[in-house]
Chain A
Amino acid sequence: MSADHHHHDHDHNHGHHHDNRYTDMQARVRALETVLTEKGLIDPAAIDAIVETYETKIGPRNGAHVVAKAWSDPDFSGWLKRDATAAIASLGYAGRQGEHMRAVFNTPDTHNLVVCTLCSCYPWSVLGLPPVWYKAPAYRSRAVIDPRGVLAEFGLTLPETKKIRVWDSTAELRYLVIPERPEGTEGMSEDELAKLVSRDAMIGTAIARAESGKKRP
């Protein structure tokens, strides 16, 4: 779903007001940056630093480390249940959109799925920036009413008897799903375990698998 495609549809299908300011986002955003830079209100190098942070430093590997530690260390797992913000901060992950963390544990009975139906709330400190689908209407509209249908689109079919708990992030709590540890991973190190934990498994649109974690997003 490219942004250009949407703008094309918008301009030609909706006659309410012909708003061509947004047909070229590259130009629009460049103009905005130029105006604010000329006014001395922003530092373009700060934008570079923000982008670099989220491209290279803050991403789902942070969350995978948290999960692997929880799988390996019962004390840490208990701390994560009681005070996720502090437990996660002890590994060095804190800050913007991770100020108030909650960890929700999948069990043999219950699968957890996280959504923000009202906007795009997401635990940036442990998962980085959200993927496009997480912010798009299809996921936000259906996760709360048809989670099994949504999961099927991710290739995940849960047993019919498994309970599904959907967490709608309507306040400032940010949720990290702790998937179940896959069988056959006894004796693996934390680093090896972390490789089995995908971003989607920590949102709840996947589970952790012993064999194919590396290929998954």
Chain B
Amino acid sequence: MNGPHDLGGQMGFGLVSPEKDEPYFHAEWEKRALGLTLSCGAFGAWSIDESRHARENVPPADYLAASYYEIWTRALEVLLERHGFATRAEIDAGHKQIEPAKPKRILTADMVPGVLAGGGPCDRPVETEPLFQPGDKVRTKNFNPATHTRLPRYARARTGVVEEVQGSYVFPDDNAHGKGENPQWVYTVVFDGGEIWGEGADPTLTVSIDAWESYLEHV
């Protein structure tokens, strides 16, 4: 979707302001928001792709004004309600009102080291050979889906060069919407700055994205 999250090349956000000796958290609630997001992810009810799409769906004015942990929290509430774990009314009231859906897993403290160390690998085998090889000239798709995609707007309908075949991975455009993992080959595709930004582009700049095979066509 062409949401507020797709920020590459937008203007008007001002200077980057790095904070000296930045703490990991700026408030106690940020710690809980991180832990809640990971704990609820362990339910096994939604994928990382569905959670990213929930964050993209935070209304633009709210998304751009929020800290990232607030975006996570807003998205988490949507996911909890969608999957039957907690309603907006319950969270507004601050207490349980109805029995929740049954999660596949409840994350307890003793499980945390193993779960964090294991992560969630999303490479998957595919039966086809890669359509593209390093050095191939490719053009990215021009599309504007209302659904989840990982092809940023700035890199659509652009010509670049395949640098590397990176393996095959879950296809987020499908997986975010419960349509299955449908893995595809992923390629690192490099674009000259001028191809993306045109007049006035930094001549020393190249930008790469990691693109699923169906984002690409031969030139």
Contacts and interface: CB of A to CB of B under 8 A. Distances in A.
A147 B17 contact: no
A120 to B, nearest CB: 6
B33 A29 contact: yes
B169 interface: yes
B92 interface: yes
A164 B10 contact: no
A168 B107 contact: no
Contacts of B131: none
B96 to A, nearest CB: 4
A153 B204 contact: no
Nearest to B11: A141
Interface stretch (A61-69, A72-80, A89-97, A178-186): A89-97
Contacts, number: 301
Given A32-B73, A171-B210, A146 B202 contact: yes
Contact of B36 (A42, A133, A146): A42
B180 to A, nearest CB: 17
B160 to A, nearest CB: 12
B72 to A, nearest CB: 9
B204 A164 contact: yes
Interface in A6-53: 6-7, 9-10, 14, 16, 19, 21-22, 25-26, 28-36, 38-43, 45-51, 53
11 contacts: A22-B62, A26-B28, A49-B109, A53-B113, A118-B152, A131-B22, A163-B206, A171-B212, A172-B169, A173-B188, A205-B18
Interface of B: 5-11, 13-22, 24-29, 31-36, 38-40, 43, 52, 55, 59, 61-62, 64-70, 73-74, 76-77, 80, 85-86, 90-96, 99-100, 103, 106-109, 111-113, 115-123, 150-152, 154-155, 166-167, 169-170, 186, 188, 190, 196-197, 202, 204-212
